[in-house]
Each structure stands twice: as C-alpha cells, then as structure tokens.
C-alpha cells in the first residue's frame, strides 16, 4: 500500500492518502501520527460521549457542519469530530495512544472539505487531546523569533497575518499555534504552507489570483493562499516565541497598542486558547500553568487595528518595529 509522508506541528505524519495541504517530507523516520482514510457509502450515526462543540452553521437537515465529542467529561479519548454537509459526511476519530486519526468519508464528499477540517479543527483538537496547549491565531517568524497574532473573530488576526506575510514575514502557522517547551522558554510549531482568507481580505490586500489555491471548503467562500508563492514564504522549522499581539475589535481611528503584564497578560492569553472546552479540568489547569510560564519570557500586547486595508499595506510594519524593539531588549 502506498504511504505518503508529511510533517506538521513537529509530527512526522504517515498517511494512506495523498494530501495537498501538508508539506511532504522524505520517508524513513518513525511516524508520530498515522492518518488512516477509508470510505463508506453511508456513515452510521455515532451517539454517546460528551459534546464540546456544535457549530452554529447547519446543513439543510439541521445538523451542525461540525460537532466534536469527548468520551467523557474528564477528557478521555477517543474523541470524535463529525462533519455533516449537504454534499457529504466525514467522521474523524482521534486517538492519543498510539497517535492516529481515523478518517471515515462518505463516498462523494468533496476532497477539499476532508482536508479543510483535518488541517484546521481536527488537528487543533488532536493536539489538545495529546497534551498540547495551542493559541488561536496566526504566527509568523521575524529576526529569529515567532510573533503571534491572536484575538476574537473579526478583530483582524488573519488580515494582519496576511498583511505581514505579504511584506515578507515567513508564516509559521495559520489558525492553530502549538506551544512547545524549549528549556526555560517556548517555541511555536511550524504547521503547513497555506493560509485561509475571506475574499474581502484577499481583495483588500490586492493579492493576485495566481497566489490562490481554490476554496478552503466546497460550501464557503474562504480561499487558500499559497505560502510557497512569492511574495509569501513559509517557515518550516519551529521558532522561539518572542511576542504575542492580542487584538481588540478594530477601530475607525488610528492604531492603539499597550503592553500587558502579569495577570492582565495571562487573562488575555487564556481567552485565546484553541478548543478551551476540550480536555476537561486537567487541560484547563495545564493551560494556566503553561501560559503563566510563557508570559515570563514573552512580550504580550493588546492592540486595536485601524479598519483600513491601506494601513495594512503602508503602516503595519511600524507596529512590527515596536514589537521587535521590545522583545529584542532595545526599547
């Protein structure tokens, strides 16, 4: 049987199906994660477990596009992520030991939907199941340090990530930033060489169609941007975390920025944990301990971005300069 080899989130991945989204690597190393794809004409409806996520978006039958279950309230596995759309169905069954994800696909389900959920929410929940804490946002590399852009929906995290990437900053990860202990400091794991953008952002940044790799999902307008196509660049190695920018709602005026320390910094980052409802009490305790440690070596800021694409194109590097000066010790 043909095996395909990839690397993402510091994991060597072996899959029995070709995946366009992930970065291929040479084989020969033991797998950290096995992806096992299979296909059925109809997927049986699995019940039971503790539901921790139901998307507000629904298909024509009134089922959420994505629902995630834990085996119990304590966070034990396996976990199940169920996708149901009008075009198909997918069950992702997540196992922590040994690390594997079973992907059971209803025949005819669009291939883009399979990968979109796998590389997004499913990987985010899988990393949490395996004991990692992740932040929800974009992560870039600059001058040997990782910079995180996190915040609530609509604050501009994908927009700023893409704007900085357009100006030459290599991208480490889009959506899920996995924290990795690095002695007394922390790193952000490299993910895969794509970012996801809404058409308004794609057009607002005046990107070219040659940089687009089609829609993320068959039923949504979000598009992929290729990070291996100039002017973009993908950072394939984990980078030491230097700063995190927590975005507030965008402003009609000028940029505002403030540094957060102590309890304020901790609270701001706890609000940006990826899949915070997953894993039970022990996972939440782990988040607090890890982020308490993170803020000892990482500069944390809160900023409100101007709601203008021209600011991104012409002035956003000034914001980067402020952050770089701070964590480089030059302020």
Can you give the pLDDT of all 331 residues of the chain as single tens digits?
Answer: 789 999 999 999 999 999 999 999 998 889 999 999 999 999 988 777 899 999 999 999 999 999 999 999 999 999 999 999 999 999 999 999 999 999 999 999 999 999 999 999 999 999 999 999 999 999 999 989 999 999 988 888 999 999 999 999 999 999 999 999 999 899 999 999 999 999 999 999 988 887 888 999 999 899 999 999 888 999 999 999 999 999 999 888 889 999 999 999 999 999 999 999 999 999 999 999 999 999 999 999 999 999 888 888 888 888 888 787 665 554 3
Please give the Cα distance from 241 to 263 (Å, whole number): 19
Homologous superfamily in CATH for domain 134-327: P-loop containing nucleotide triphosphate hydrolases (3.40.50.300)
Residue ranges per structural domain of the chain: 4-129, 134-327
DSSP bridge partners of 138: 149, 174
Q: Beta-carbon neighbour count of residue 160 at 10 Å? A: 24
Which pLDDT score, from 0 to 100, does residue 208 have?
85
Helices and strands, counts by H and E, the chain? 7, 19
């Amino acid at each position: 049987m043909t095996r395909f080899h990839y690397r993402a989130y510091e994991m060597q991945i072996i899959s029995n199906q070709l995946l366009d989204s992930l970065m291929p690597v040479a084989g020969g190393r033991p797998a950290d994660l096995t992806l096992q794809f299979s296909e059925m004409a109809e997927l049986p409806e699995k019940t039971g477990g503790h539901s921790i996520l139901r998307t507000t978006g629904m298909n024509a039958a009134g089922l959420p596009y994505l629902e995630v279950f834990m085996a119990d309230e304590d966070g034990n596995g396996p976990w199940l992520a169920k996708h149901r759309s009008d075009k198909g169905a997918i069950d992702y069954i997540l196992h922590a030991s040994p690390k594997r994800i079973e992907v059971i696909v209803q025949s005819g389900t669009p291939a883009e939907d399979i990968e979109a959920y796998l590389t997004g929410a499913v990987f985010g929940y899988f990393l949490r199941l395996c004991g990692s804490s992740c932040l929800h946002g974009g992560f870039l590399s600059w001058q040997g340090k990782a910079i995180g852009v996190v915040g609530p929906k609509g604050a501009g995290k994908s927009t700023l990530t893409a704007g900085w990437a357009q100006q030459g900053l290599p991208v480490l990860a889009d959506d899920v930033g996995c924290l990795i202990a690095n002695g007394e400091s922390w790193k952000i794991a490299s993910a895969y060489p794509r970012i996801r953008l809404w058409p308004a952002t794609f057009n607002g940044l005046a990107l070219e169609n040659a940089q687009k790799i089609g829609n993320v999902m068959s039923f949504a307008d979000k598009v992929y941007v290729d990070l291996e196509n100039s002017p973009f660049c993908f950072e394939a190695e984990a980078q030491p975390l230097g700063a995190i920018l927590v975005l507030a709602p965008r402003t009609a005026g000028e940029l505002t920025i403030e540094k957060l320390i102590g309890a304020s910094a901790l609270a701001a980052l706890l609000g940006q944990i990826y899949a915070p409802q997953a894993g039970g009490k022990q996972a939440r305790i782990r988040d607090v301990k890890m982020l308490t440690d993170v803020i000892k070596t990482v500069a944390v800021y809160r900023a409100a971005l101007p709601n203008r694409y021209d600011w991104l194109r012409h002035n956003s590097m000034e914001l980067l300069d402020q952050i770089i000066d701070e964590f480089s010790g030059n302020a």
